Amino acid sequence: MNNAILNRISVRQYKPKPIEQEKLDEILQSAILAPSAKNIQPWRFVVVCNKTKRSYAT
């Protein structure tokens, strides 16, 4: 996982295949453990798995 983050590339198109739950859990756990300024940890994560419920900010 860390290797993937360190060697990341920009992706413009995604496959329609859903992310496996185990991988999603690992990604979220890594994000939660990431440092924040003064350890405030201001983040909130929303995972939407249903395509019809997804909306985009305008």
Q: For the chain, 58 residues long, give each residue's pLDDT as a single digit of tens.
A: 678 778 878 877 878 888 899 999 999 998 888 888 888 888 888 888 887 877 765 4
Half-sphere exposure of 44 (CA within 13 A, CB side): 1
- 10 Å CB burial of residue 48 (0-12, 13-18, 19+) is exposed
Confidence (pTM): 0.58
